[in-house]
Amino acid sequence: MCGIVGYIGAQQAPPILLEGLSRLEHRGYDSAGLVVRANGRGPRALKVAKRAGRVRDLADGLPKRFAGTAGIGHTRWATHGPANDVNAHPHTDAAQRVAVVHNGIIDNAAALRDKLTADGVELVSDTDTEVIAHLIGQSEADTLEGKVRDALSVIDGTWGLAVLHADFPDRIVVARNGSPLIVGVGDKEMYVASDLAALVRHTTTVAMLDDGELATVTANGFTTFRHDLTATSKAASRVDVDPASYEDATENQWGHASYMHKEMLEQPAAAERMLRGRLDERFGAAHLGGLNMEPREFRAIRRVKILGCGSAYYVGQMGAGLIEDLARIPADAEAASEFRYRNPIIEPDTLYVAVSQSGETIDSLLAVQEIRRKGGRVIGLVNVVGSAIARECDGGIYLHAGPEVAVASTKALTNMFLGFALLAIQLGRVRDLSIADGKRLVTALAALPGQIEQILAKEEEYAEVARTLAEAPSLFFIGRVRGFPVAREGAQKFKEISYRHAEAYQTSELKHGPLALIEPALPTVAIVPADDLTERNVGALHEIAARRGPLVVVTHEGVDLGGVAATRLDVPRSEPELDPILMTLPLQLLAYHAALHLGHDIDKPRNLAKSVTVE
């Protein structure tokens, strides 16, 4: 959510900054801006351009002589004040000598604004960020590092920020507290960004700042330090990532209409990477060395608590069901955004699992920190090596999904489910899961990439159904037990990219209220696997059909729907424990093609961001 990019070196900064900002568009934003340092000092040394709208609007409106070899840029997602030109970043002090871009929220901004106003400062924006620029400008410290430290010493909240100062032309100072920030190393040039996507075309040698850490970035390198200006030993390392993965999905070799489409079709290969080397066919077990746990420690676990947000929360519910089924350990999932605010009881024999594609989701990160503070053991299921959650956890399962750019998660979600399946097998095999059942599940997992491919091959069939659903103003998604989190994820996808109201219910709850809303204008998407509850699920379909509610049923081949009038979407059968992920895939395609039919910007849905890095 929001994005930062910076450059200092010998090249002209504006093209690099604009390119970096365009690669951060997937994070969600409503305005953009940049500032460059021109020759000389004083107010004229900093040139600022910013405006509401897209990065391309900013680029089209740049003055002809907008040049400089150092600069910082920003894409803003509005929190304090509406999305307009004035509230866009960068923000400057009254003397126009300091420029700041900032991700995060300043909790005591109102009090600081009041104090600045009382001191005679004229605030021009509605933002919390503007106070940072004024505080830096007021500092009497001799160095830019000291000025930034002075400002941060009176600020409460979260920040990832970058600062330019007209009187210190050779450097950018950056700081992190709760919002990600990366320093990229080039050849006599340096970069800063809030997301690796902004840097990979120029460098994959990076250093990731920790919370409470600052850095001075010059063309020749960087140094890191704490708030008391004591040095920290932060070294850059090479990130194993293919820069081509971040190329525009509609260009070059990809040829897709969007990143989401590209990423959906990458799911068979992503699933193969996730499972490679982790399936033990001989013993019907899983290899998860990254958990850093011995069998004795697995046996000591008495409960599993899974924490995630959005789609990660729903796949966590699927994972909790897997763990209870296979390991016979009580397990549940909870929204990470609520967890720490209810003063949770942290138990020594509970395994906590944090799930996040980016590894930077602020609610999940704060939940992990709360657990660690109270002595709990927590592992992570994350897709970004070196991310904040990965560094905070005691161990983890790397998702190997590859870069995921679209806001709506597809391949990362699928690999999260596979991670939970592997964890459930690992936990089960040190308990009561037989070797025969272990082998049954390992064999089924090995077959999943091929089954995913079979489902994706039916895309045009799903597209036709999606175009019909797109015309409805509201939809129900229903499922029972294993099918309910599938329904929740389906409703989430439909809401976030088609902007149609979609609500998920347990099928068993229909007669406890929702059935009153069934009518011809309200379609229901039902999850009906071949399992012990098939007959009850089919009975619910008849109740909906009796009230003339249109039905789309995601089911298995051979399931008898009792002659009910419904559009049927069959998926291949796996083992019952693994069926939920295969039944999720058609819902991705339905949401995608509904949004495509409605003409929406699929990769950048309104009001949403890929990585939620502020509470």
User: Known catalytic residues?
Assistant: 2, 610
Q: Exposed/middle/buried for 599, CB within 10 Å: 0-12, 13-18, 19+? A: exposed
For residue 318, give Cα distances in angstroms to 40, 207, 353. Answer: 59, 35, 13
Q: Letter for the amino acid at 612?
A: V
Q: Are residues 207 and 237 in contact, defined by beta-carbon separation less than 8 angstroms?
A: yes
> How far is the C-alpha of 142 from the C-alpha of 149, rounded, in Å?
12
Encoding tokens for residue 393? Answer: 């956890």
| Alpha-carbon radius of gyration of the chain | 26
Cβ–Cβ contacts within 10 Å for residue 374, how many? 13
For residue 376, give the nearest of 341, 348, 355, 396 by alpha carbon: 348
> How far is the C-alpha of 154 from the C-alpha of 142, rounded, in Å?
18
For residue 160, give the nearest of 99, 105, 219 by alpha carbon: 105
Q: For Cα atoms 449, 454, 459, give the angle at the middle one, nearest 5 degrees.
A: 120
> How far is the C-alpha of 45 from the C-alpha of 97, rounded, in Å?
8
Residues contacting residue 299 through CB under 8 Å, at least 6 positions apart: 430, 431
> How far is the C-alpha of 481 from the C-alpha of 458, rounded, in Å?
26
Q: For Cα atoms 567, 569, 574, give the angle at the middle one, nearest 5 degrees.
A: 150
| Ramachandran sector of residue 40 (left: φ over 0; alpha: ψ -120 to 50; beta: rest) | left
Q: Are residues 574 and 451 in contact, defined by beta-carbon separation less than 8 angstroms?
A: yes
The per-residue DSSP string of 47-76 comes to: EEEEEES-HHHHHHT--TT---SEEEEEEE
Encoding tokens for residue 492? Answer: 């989430």
The per-residue DSSP string of 153-195 comes to: TT--B-EEEEEEETT-TT-EEEEEEBS--EEEE-SS-EEEESS
| Ramachandran sector of residue 117 (left: φ over 0; alpha: ψ -120 to 50; beta: rest) | alpha
Residues contacting residue 563 through CB under 8 Å, at least 6 positions apart: none
Q: What is the dihedral of CA 308, 313, 315, 320, to 10 degrees?
A: 80
For residue 166, give the nearest of 70, 89, 32 by alpha carbon: 70
For residue 236, give Cα distances in angstroms to 183, 215, 494. Answer: 8, 12, 40
For residue 161, give the nearest of 210, 218, 102 by alpha carbon: 102
Cβ–Cβ contacts within 10 Å for residue 15, how many? 11
For residue 580, give the nearest of 539, 532, 530 by alpha carbon: 530
The strand pairing partners of 48, in sequence order, are 35
| CA atoms within 13 Å, Cβ hemisphere of 558 | 4
DSSP state of 96: S
